[in-house]
Amino acid sequence: MTEKFRPIHAECLRAVLLCALAGLYLAACAAAAVGTVVVTSVDIARDRRTVGTYVDDNAVEWKIRRALQNDTQIGGGTDISVTSWNGVVLLTGEVAANEQGRRAVGIARGYTEARQVINQLVVAPTSRFTERSHDAWLTTKAKSALLAARDVSAGRIKVVTDRATIYLMGMVTRAEADAAVAATRQLRGVQRIVKVFEYIQ
């Protein structure tokens, strides 16, 4: 897919992010009921998304998480993570039954910011603390490997780890995708690498 994008100026970025943070602050009461909202730190200068898309991705992640937590049909026994990159929404984690997974996908698809929903939910007991800690460690190792790798910019790739599976997201060339996979596939403890890339020329 060919993606047109324009450079992001620091002044424009600062203004947009301040507006986004202000909106999150005003929604603090609602946010408190569903957990802390965090705007992920991203190297915008290397990010191929526009500022508007970056803000939309963060906003839709929060909207979907809130909707999933408030949905009575999904119920308990789930641990669903939501990640959006350029409108591609990735659902990872555990559900107690297939019906919950289908419901979660339907909710995510209900948002116009979600151009595509990728369902990687599994029917299984929710992960233990040790498993989540291991996933966090793998994410850190993968990010470090990308930073050290040649022919790839770590700021253009989002790393998500769930159940020892590493998902790589971003708008990249095929050469960058190959370099990213090569940098992460040798990490000890990784069971699988899944490319969730949008390819550009």
Residue 4 domain-assigned (yes or no): no
Please state at what angle helix 174-184 crosses helix 129-148, rounded to 10 degrees. Answer: 130
pLDDT above 70: percentage of residues in the chain? 77
> Rounded to 5 degrees, what are φ and ψ at 56?
-60, -40
Given 101, 123, 145, which residue is the final one in a domain? 123
pTM equals 0.76
Confidence of residue 75 (pLDDT cuts 50, 70, 90): confident
Q: Are 71 and 155 in contact (CB under 8 A)?
A: no
Same domain, 145 and 118: no
Q: What local confidence, expressed as pLDDT, does residue 167 receive?
A: 97
Residue 101 domain-assigned (yes or no): yes
Q: What local confidence, expressed as pLDDT, does residue 201 receive?
A: 75
Q: What local confidence, expressed as pLDDT, does residue 45 receive?
A: 54
Q: For the chain, what is the domain count? A: 2
Range of the domain at 136: 129-199
Residue 78 domain-assigned (yes or no): yes
Given 83, 108, 123, which residue is the final one in a domain? 123
String of b and e for 35-48 (b: at least 16 CB within 10 Å)?
Answer: eebeeeeeebeebb
Q: What local confidence, expressed as pLDDT, does residue 18 receive?
A: 43
Residue 27 domain-assigned (yes or no): yes
Residue 157 domain-assigned (yes or no): yes
Given 74, 107, 123, which residue is the final one in a domain? 123
Q: Which residue intervals of the chain are DSSP H helices?
A: 10-26, 28-34, 51-70, 98-109, 129-148, 174-184
Residue 3 domain-assigned (yes or no): no
Same domain, 21 and 116: yes
